[in-house]
Amino acid sequence: MNSKQFKNDYLEKILTAQVYDVAVESPLELAPNLSRRINNRLLLKREDMQPVFSFKLRGAYNKMAQLSRAALKRGVITASAGNHAQGVALAAQRLGCEATIVMPATTPQIKVDAVKNRGANVVLCGDSYTDAYAHALELERKTKATFVHPYDDPAVIAGQGTVGMEILRQHSKPIHAIFVPVGGGGLIAGIAAYVKRLRPEIKIIGVEPCDADAMYRSLKKKERVVLPQVGIFADGVAVKQVGEETFRLCREFVDEIILVDTDAICAAIKDVFEDTRSILEPAGALSIAGAKAYAKREKLKDKTLVTIASGANMNFDRLRHVAERSELGEQREGVFAVTIPETPGSFKKFCAMLGPRNITEFNYRYSDAKQAHVFVGVQVQNRNEVDKLVAALKQKGLGAIDLSENEMAKLHIRHLVGGHAPLAKNEILYRFEFPERPGALMKFLDSMSHNWNISLFHYRNHGTDYGRVLVGVQVLPKEKPKFKAFLDELGYHYWDESNNPAYKLFLG
């Protein structure tokens, strides 16, 4: 069969796909704030607004709606990281058949619960989709149930392709590119097969995480590769090997695959939240991160970019990590290790060197009589400002190391600065709430006597009205009344933590 026949084949499959018994035609919405920032018109295809908060029910239902009554009676089985599982569970509920879902043990609990709540049987197995898939095939042989593949099936691909059909119907004006998240490849294969048949000038660009780039590597090598392991932050696309049919279609129709890292994904989640007040899951924000990277790389201006907001099944406890990393992903925070002299007043001088920049974090613990090592986060406008700040600090004779791209520092070291300090004699510990405004820290330092040495300092901007600050200060017993007067004059809320057992165990 030649290429034209392939195109026509999928065009017909997509046009006749049975999806709207369960799916809705999701909105195609402008992201106004993000569009202004990247100087292009960025549209969000809101698949996160589907009944299962993901596009996956399209392909699952289209496949299952075509099964015979006898096949439905035997039930269906699938393997999924979560969103396809919910699609299959909903389709089974609607069609009145039994469904067994094999999910990786790493699947977020919110997705496991959602599948169970729709009446499906859940089996947890392995750490990745590939592990779950192998176990599901074993169960298929034993139970004679019909396997509903999450991506490598023409009926599933056609169901996902209805997303592309809707985009072209909803936006008849020029589109420069459509950005699609890629796991196994079902969504991008369906969209590409449809769009390239009718609007071949539109670029189809896939987006994968740097640590789960099976399609990128496969297209580069011109054969399907198997990744030894995959990152699971974007669990919805944590696939070790892409599908055979999806790979064939992507080779023919996809223009490019872009890779993005965790920080860029977190920044994209924040971008979408600021425009829509909706929170996408990491895989759901992939295409937005890819569109931003592409627009910057190509120096695009005034183009229309369509992105697929593919899912919103986010575990709530991941939001802490997303918030922490989003500023780094936007390159709006620089993280540094700075060495300053261990003398009274040097901390204040260092803060003055940073100028009017907003400080996002300070971690410091007295450990050496001559040098102080400070872990500091600073709000910046772009990457160039980070480089300039490092150069300025070095020019002032301070040792400064840029840790903004250091994964260990960002994940662990920033939370581990501390420990016991035998040299910190007469130390007292206070917890403060600083007003979250420029100058609050300098007011604290300006008001403090130069006779008192700061021996511990921890601060992190939490995005609230008040900054939570922990400060250790060396104060002689005879100076304590003066220190108490300083606290009262300062006007900040404070708590004496000097007798806190956690302080005595780990820091005192």
Active site amino acids: 56, 310
Residues in the chain, total: 508
How many CB atoms lie under 10 A from the CB of residue 250?
25
What Å distances lie between residue 435 and 65, 114, 134, 469, 470, CA to CA? 58, 41, 55, 10, 14
**Distance between CA atoms of 468 and 458, rounded to whole angstroms?**
8
Strand order in the sheet with 99-103: 121-124, 99-103, 76-79, 146-147
CB of 332 closer than 8 Å to CB of 201: no
In the chain, % helix, strand, coil (3-state, to 5) comes to: 45, 20, 35
CA angle 484, 488, 492 (to 5 degrees): 120
Handedness of CA 484, 488, 491, 496 (dihedral sign): positive
How many CB atoms lie under 10 A from the CB of residue 276?
18
Rounded to an integer, what is the distance from CA 133 to the centroid of its chain? 25
- At 139 the three-state DSSP class reads helix
- At residue 401, φ and ψ (nearest 5 deg) are -125, 130
**Distance between CA atoms of 128 and 231, rounded to whole angstroms?**
9
Look at residues 449, 471, 450, 448 and name the one whose alpha carbon lies nearest to residue 459.
471
**Distance between CA atoms of 180 and 290, rounded to whole angstroms?**
9
CB of 106 closer than 8 Å to CB of 132: no
- At residue 427, φ and ψ (nearest 5 deg) are -80, 135
**Distance between CA atoms of 355 and 464, rounded to whole angstroms?**
22
**Distance between CA atoms of 429 and 452, rounded to whole angstroms?**
13
Amino acid in the structure at residue 113: D
CA angle 199, 200, 201 (to 5 degrees): 90
